Chain A
Amino acid sequence: MSTELLTDITVFVLALLVGFEVISKVPATLHTPLMSAANSIHGIILAGAMLIAVTANNALGYILAFVAAAFAAMNVVGGYVVTGRMLKMFRRTRTPVSAPDTPAAVNGQSSGGRA
């Protein structure tokens, strides 16, 4: 057992506790954006995927690096954009531009909120 592992475990456990503390205060109204935000945070695996590329020097390494980078980048970019798009829709007051007849107006931009 190395000191490094011990430190890693300490960091892991403390981060778990912080996570429980912070997340238990999120209201149910925001649980979907919360999950989506947590989703983007685990996109940090992109850092791991990039580090694969550092040591890759054969076909297998390159393939793993490519797939891992693609997966992780999709996770991180998609996660943050969609979370932002959802949160933009949460407004304190009704905006005058209510267009109930065109519910499918979500194609373009991150302007799904029509703020």
Chain B
Amino acid sequence: MNTFDWVTQLLYVSSAVCFVLGLHLMNSPASARRGNQVSTAGMALAIATTLALVVHAGTITATGWAVMIAGTLVGSGAGLYMARTVQMTAMPQLVSLFNAVGGGAAALVAINDYVRLAGANAGVPEVTTITTILDVLIGAVTFSGSIIAAGKLQGLINGAPVTFPGSRAVNIGAAVAGVGGGIYMIATPSVPVMIIIILAALTFGVTMVMPIGGADMPVVISLLNAFTGTAVAMAGFVIGNWALIIAGALVGASGSILTKLMADAMNRSLSNIMIGGFGTGDSAPAAVGPGGDVRSVQADDAAIQLAYAQKVIIVPGYGLAAAQAQHQVAELAALLEERGIEVSYAIHPVAGRMPGHMNVLLAEANVPYPQLKEMEEINPEFPRADVALVIGANDVTNPAARRPGTAISGMPILDVDQAKSIIVIKRSMGHGYAGIDNELYFDPKTSMLFADAKSALTDLIASVKTLVG
């Protein structure tokens, strides 16, 4: 190793240190912004180091420079535009899209390396073949799978589980072709076979995500995130670059942790989700007649209840975001706070379409983050709450989960039923994702405010202002 190699390796290690520090600083909202800056600095260092490597190698052609610079500029421009214009509700699609391009780029790096080595006389070393196959398989699955996931989230593709006759067979066939082709390639290096496994992996990505319903998306996005990280790490193995290996491993770890957290929060195993959901939380629930005694309430009465409470816990669900009503919630909360009422938000881990999505939506609506409480933190506080205001959340508040024998048994829930009184804003008595009645609605302490989230909140705000203002 000469001095140049030493220095570049050390610079790569420094950038990896920045990535770890950056992630470490995200352990609190107060330091998270600095974390992102540290991570950005690490990335700038890694890119600058690579640029030095490119110049030092000296083999790059003029066309090579042009292609590299043009590609980087085009990609940066597109990324910048999307990052600046995206609505916070559309964040899951964007993250999914970035997963796709990251996984795709990782696969391309390995494909290029393999084609180059296969063309040379020395042949492809076995180790390179294995890591290339892993990179190509994971990268291509991530690419097509993430695009389908983004399409579903954006509403371009039916969000409900989509299956067609024989889809399972296509899925298994693609998996067999990918793995089988990979094993063949280890024995006999072959570019055409690699093209076959690329196509097989792309097909597998599509058939893997199509049958998964909208409400399972937090798990899918986390899983694809872990895949992208692994693909990048494999690309690092292929081209022998530690920065890629370390960064890929960090992302792989992050994606795996989030996947497990999300699956646990839904009380479903990963395999259960991947095999196909039992519906989707997206479609407007059909109005079902109330089965039991349900107390309905008008906005005026609900407003009085809220205005004379001492402690209010707001329980937002995806329905809130779907109705774009997070700003109204924040306004109502601010109004109540002015009256000296203690307001906090109880956030279930799967509220939203990606991990932590609801927190971002509320932060955008100017809700201070100390009010955003995680499930473990807020559950002991419900018995002290005078009013729990449930908006757009359903299954995660259903006390039936505590009993065995229901569709959601064992799922961790918010202990909304422990509050002194409960107001539920809901369009109808329709079912949630799990397709079962929510026993909370039949609780004598519960009053239902039947309305669309946005108009109900607007009414509540107006009533609080006029009645007690």
Q: Is B171 an interface residue (CB 8 A)?
A: no
- Complex formed: what's the CA distance from A95 to B232 in Å? 40
Q: Is B3 an interface residue (CB 8 A)?
A: no
CB nearest to A7 among chain B residues:
B242
- Whether B67 pairs with A37 at a CB distance below 8 angstroms is no
Least CB distance from B182 to A in Å reads 18
- Complex formed: what's the CA distance from A71 to B141 in Å? 16
- Whether A15 pairs with B250 at a CB distance below 8 angstroms is yes
CB nearest to A93 among chain B residues:
B368
Residue in A8, A11, A46, A83 whose Cβ sees the most chain B Cβ within 10 Å = A46
Contacts of A87 in B (CB 8 A): 29, 32-33, 36
Indicate whether A100 sits within 8 Å of B79 (C-beta atoms), given known contacts A64-B112, A67-B71.
no
Contacts of B237 in A (CB 8 A): 5, 8, 12
CB nearest to B113 among chain A residues:
A52
Contacts of A113 in B (CB 8 A): 364
Q: In the complex, which of the residues B59, B78, B253 contacts A23, with contact meaning CB atoms closer than 8 Å?
A: B253
- Whether A51 pairs with B239 at a CB distance below 8 angstroms is yes
Contacts of B68 in A (CB 8 A): 49-50, 53, 65-66, 69
Least CB distance from A63 to B in Å reads 8
- Whether A90 pairs with B19 at a CB distance below 8 angstroms is no
Within 8 A of A (CB), among B90-113: 91, 94-95, 98-99, 101-102, 104-106, 108-109, 111-113
In this complex, how many residues of chain A approach chain B with their Cβ under 8 Å: the count is 97
Within 8 A of B (CB), among A25-66: 25-57, 60-62, 64-66
Provide the B317-358 mask, 1 if CB < 8 A to any CB of A, else 0. Answer: 000000010111011001000000000000101001011110
- Complex formed: what's the CA distance from A52 to B65 in Å? 11
Q: Is B76 an interface residue (CB 8 A)?
A: yes
- Whether B229 pairs with A38 at a CB distance below 8 angstroms is yes
- Whether B356 pairs with A84 at a CB distance below 8 angstroms is no
Provide the A60-85 mask, 1 if CB < 8 A to any CB of B, else 0. Answer: 11101111111111111111111111
Least CB distance from A113 to B in Å reads 8
Least CB distance from B21 to A in Å reads 9
Provide the B250-279 mask, 1 if CB < 8 A to any CB of A, else 0. Answer: 111111111001000000000000000000
- Whether A37 pairs with B245 at a CB distance below 8 angstroms is no
Indicate whether A18 sits within 8 Å of B244 (C-beta atoms), given known contacts A68-B108, A75-B102.
no
Q: In the complex, which of the residues A4, A28, A69 contacts B71, with contact meaning CB atoms closer than 8 Å?
A: A69
Interface of B is mostly: helix
- Whether B98 pairs with A65 at a CB distance below 8 angstroms is no
Contacts of A44 in B (CB 8 A): 15, 43, 46, 232, 243-244, 247-248
Q: In the complex, which of the residues A36, A78, A79, A91 contacts B78, with contact meaning CB atoms closer than 8 Å?
A: A78
Least CB distance from A55 to B in Å reads 6
Least CB distance from B330 to A in Å reads 6
Contacts of A11 in B (CB 8 A): 242, 245-246, 249
- Whether B372 pairs with A29 at a CB distance below 8 angstroms is yes
- Whether B84 pairs with A110 at a CB distance below 8 angstroms is yes
- Whether B108 pairs with A52 at a CB distance below 8 angstroms is yes
Q: In the complex, which of the residues B28, B74, B91, B127 contacts A32, with contact meaning CB atoms closer than 8 Å?
A: B91
Indicate whether A48 sits within 8 Å of B79 (C-beta atoms), given known contacts A22-B20, A62-B64.
no
Contacts of B233 in A (CB 8 A): 12
- Whether B47 pairs with A46 at a CB distance below 8 angstroms is yes
Interface stretch, picked from B49-57, B148-156, B391-399, is B49-57
- Complex formed: what's the CA distance from A92 to B32 in Å? 13
Q: In the complex, which of the residues A60, A69, A82, A100 contacts B330, with contact meaning CB atoms closer than 8 Å?
A: A100
- Whether A85 pairs with B84 at a CB distance below 8 angstroms is yes
CB nearest to B84 among chain A residues:
A110
Q: Is B241 an interface residue (CB 8 A)?
A: yes
- Whether B366 pairs with A68 at a CB distance below 8 angstroms is no
Q: In the complex, which of the residues A31, A75, A109 contacts B84, with contact meaning CB atoms closer than 8 Å?
A: A109
Q: In the complex, which of the residues A19, A56, A62, A73 contacts B253, with contact meaning CB atoms closer than 8 Å?
A: A19
Q: In the complex, which of the residues A15, A46, A76, A92 contacts B370, with contact meaning CB atoms closer than 8 Å?
A: A92
- Whether B26 pairs with A37 at a CB distance below 8 angstroms is yes
Q: Is B2 an interface residue (CB 8 A)?
A: no
Contacts of A104 in B (CB 8 A): 87
Given contacts A62-B64, A92-B30, 5 further A-B contacts (CB under 8 A): A28-B355, A38-B255, A47-B50, A52-B112, A92-B369
Interface residues of B (CB under 8 A from A): 15-16, 19-20, 22-24, 26-30, 32-33, 35-37, 39-40, 43, 46-47, 49-51, 53-54, 57, 59-61, 63-65, 67-68, 70-76, 78-80, 82-88, 91, 94-95, 98-99, 101-102, 104-106, 108-109, 111-113, 115-116, 127, 221-222, 225, 228-229, 232-233, 235-237, 239-258, 261, 324, 326-328, 330-331, 334, 347, 349, 352, 354-357, 359-360, 363-370, 372, 374-375
**A–B complex contacts, Cβ < 8 Å, 28 sampled:** A12-B248, A16-B253, A19-B249, A22-B24, A27-B28, A28-B355, A28-B374, A29-B359, A31-B258, A34-B26, A39-B251, A41-B250, A44-B46, A44-B247, A45-B105, A45-B235, A48-B109, A67-B105, A68-B109, A70-B75, A73-B75, A75-B79, A79-B83, A81-B79, A92-B370, A93-B368, A95-B366, A113-B364
